[in-house]
Amino acid sequence: MTRDLAVLGVGMHPWGKWGRNFVEYGIVAAREALKDADIEWRDVQFVSGGDTVRNGYPGFVAGATFAQALGWQGAQVASSYAACASGVTALSTARAQILAGFADVAMIVGADTTPKGFLAPTKGERGDDPDWLRFRLLGATNPTYFAFYARRRMELFGATREDFAQIKVKNSRHGLANEYARFRKENTIDDVLNAPMVSDPLSLLDICATSDGAAAMIVTSTDWADAHGYSNYVRIKGVSTVTPAYPNPVIEMPNFATDSKAGTATMPAMGFKDSIAHRAYEEAGVRPEDVSCAEVYDLSTALELDWYEHIGLCAPGEAEVLLRSGATALGGRIPVNTSGGLASFGEAVPAQAIAQLCELTWQLRGQAGVRQVEGANVGLSINQGLFGHGSCVILSK
């Protein structure tokens, strides 16, 4: 029995700042995915929801909330919270149900309504969570955190503000043609460099916004898809939801120190972010050189450069060279964030890992229009959530 899943349908609600109930967005995305899969809601046997902590009790029981809103029909439900990795954790739950034989057809759905400004820490005490500690001990909100990473790249690898700006330029160009993107405006290097400084060296255009939005998928066993006449479907080949291994200095506090290059010599050969992709590669039986396109988590422009190295597109310290060569832009060797990334979407936390998979599905089907990567055969998505949640999925034709 193959461990692959079939992706039969994907759907999204446009990202924006709509100010409505998150359930409305999720239902739009879910119905689009059902339509794309040519499957009736009554045939869905399992609903796996990505939770949103900002939307009250319904947000914490997202699977049941979406099942109720679509009309109760007896489907099993589950809800998953893993911060920015919630969408893939929800997928992993559905995948386990299908591979165990408890269901054949599953819906994965995530949606969010976000506050204005950056995402502040939620209430409660999480003294053993490094992300919580950076808020409490250093006052390092997300923009500050992203700036530490940017400064680290500048110190260790010679990155420049122009390199970071080029990421925004690339992703804004990609997002122009994406009907689901919130920001559909092409930016120049000067636009980014002259935007208001938020957390030096990152300007307003270097940092992603918070957004409302939703995304959904319909996945089945390959046996079910074959038996029901589906062919040439996209396959889920590998799913990684790894947590860090101890000791691991990339979790993330020691990386706040950027005044010395000496510390890198003691870092392990593989850190947390590297291991997220490594597990997915192993499971899928592919290598970085097999990847046709990738969707990576560009919370800031500098973080996209880090991801190039963590997923094996280049060696550590070589991301800037890869970017400058044009390899990660459409038409290049390995286009990254053809959707426009978070630079064009902003964060709708439980939905964004699913949105990455929507884009990769369209790419592998050849349905991405002017964003299409020629000959796309393998796609990779990756992100990271609070409290050590990893998220990586590998899809193939």
Residue range 240-248: mean pLDDT, rounded: 77
Distance CA 323, CA 169 (A): 11
Residue 38 backbone class (left: φ over 0; alpha: ψ -120 to 50; beta: rest): left
pLDDT at 74: 97
Closest CA to 153 of 324, 353, 369, 303: 303
Q: Is the model's pLDDT at 264 over the cut of 50?
A: no
Q: Using 50, 70 and 90 to split pLDDT, how confident is the model at 54?
A: confident
* In contact, 231 and 38? CB cutoff 8 Å: no
In the DSSP assignment, the letter for residue 40 is: -
- 20: tokens are 């409505």
Say if residues 358 and 215 touch (Cβ distance below 8 Å): yes
Which amino acid does the sequence have at 361? T
- Percent pLDDT > 90 in the chain is 79
CA 63-279-242 angle, to 5 degrees, is 50
Please, what is the end-to-end C-alpha distance for the chain in angstroms? 18
Using only C-alpha atoms, what is the Rg of the chain?
A: 20
pLDDT exceeds cutoff 50 at 257: no
Asked if 180 and 111 count as a contact pair (C-beta separation under 8 A), the reply is: no
Give the pLDDT confidence score for residue 248 in this predicted structure: 53
* Closest to 215 in 3D by CA, of 22, 361, 26: 26
**Which candidate, 295, 280, 222, 237, places its Cα nearest to that of 8?**
222
260 pLDDT more than 80: no
Q: Give per-residue pLDDT as tens, 321-335.
A: 999 999 999 999 999
Q: Give the domain 130-208+238-396 fold.
A: Peroxisomal Thiolase; Chain A, domain 1 (3.40.47)
Region of residue 96 (phi > 0: left; psi between -120 and 50: alpha; otherwise: beta): alpha
| Rounded CA separation 172/160 (Å) | 19
The residue ranking higher by pLDDT, 235 or 390, is 235
pLDDT (tens digit per residue) in 180-234 = 999 999 999 999 999 999 999 999 999 999 999 999 999 999 999 999 999 999 9
b (16+ CB within 10 A) / e for 165-193: bbbbbbbbbbbbbbebbbbeeebeeebbb
Q: What is the pLDDT at residue 274?
A: 84
Looking at the chain, the number of H-run helices and the number of E-run strands are 14, 11
Nearest to 11 by CA among 100, 106, 107, 141: 107
> Residue 82: CB partners within 8 Å, gap ≥ 6?
88, 89, 241, 385, 387, 389, 391
Q: Is the pLDDT of residue 31 over 70?
A: yes
Query: Is 90 exceeded by the pLDDT of residue 251?
Result: no
pLDDT, one tens digit per residue, over 136-169 is 777 778 888 889 889 999 999 999 999 999 999 9
Residue 1 has pLDDT above 80, yes or no: no
DSSP secondary structure letter of residue 265: G
- Which conformational region is residue 120 in: left (phi greater than 0), alpha (psi within -120 to 50 degrees), or beta? beta
Look at 253 and 287; give whichever has higher pLDDT.
287
Q: Which residues contact 346 (CB under 8 A, 6 or more apart)?
A: 15, 114, 182, 183, 208, 209, 210, 211, 213
What are the residue ranges of CATH 3.40.47.10 in the chain? Answer: 5-118+212-236, 130-208+238-396
Q: In whole angstroms, what is the distance from residue 87 CA to residue 110 CA?
A: 6
Domain 5-118+212-236: top CATH class: alpha beta
Question: Over 70: is that where the pLDDT of 124 sits?
Answer: no
Of residues 291 and 114, more confidence is placed in: 291
User: Would you put residue 206 in left (φ > 0), alpha (ψ -120 to 50) or beta?
Assistant: alpha
Predicted confidence (pLDDT) per residue in 86-114, tens digit: 999 999 999 999 999 999 999 999 999 99
